[in-house]
Amino acid sequence: MMVARLVAVLAFFDFFRQLVNLSIFTICFTFSFAAIFTSELWRRAKRSLGRYTGHIKINTERLYYSSTPNLRYLTLHSVTEG
């Protein structure tokens, strides 16, 4: 009777240990997947917002707004600095 009780207790603790390991793995996997998915969404959102709202370029002295990344920035930069 004592051996059967000891085996049952050890089996319970072994099951509990495996459950904890599985839940830790699940939590880590979920957070890493969420971080990758969120960064990908943020990258796509920035790219699509950049098409419609323009790009903000930060210089050491001034903040420039340009709807096309290269041409208007260079024009504003040369006009304001030159």
Q: Which residues, other chains included, contact 18 with Cβ-Cβ below 8 Å and sequence gap of 6+? A: none
Confidence at residue 49, expressed as pLDDT on a 0 to 100 scale: 66
Give me the residues paired with residue 58 across strands.
63
Confidence at residue 18, expressed as pLDDT on a 0 to 100 scale: 80
Confidence at residue 24, expressed as pLDDT on a 0 to 100 scale: 77
For the stretch 25-70, pLDDT in tens is 788 888 887 887 777 777 777 776 665 555 555 544 444 454 555 5
Q: What is the dihedral of CA 62, 64, 70, 74, to 10 degrees?
A: -50
Confidence at residue 30, expressed as pLDDT on a 0 to 100 scale: 81
More confident residue, 25 or 76: 25
Residue 9: pLDDT above 80? yes
**CA pair distance 40, 48, nearest whole angstrom:** 12
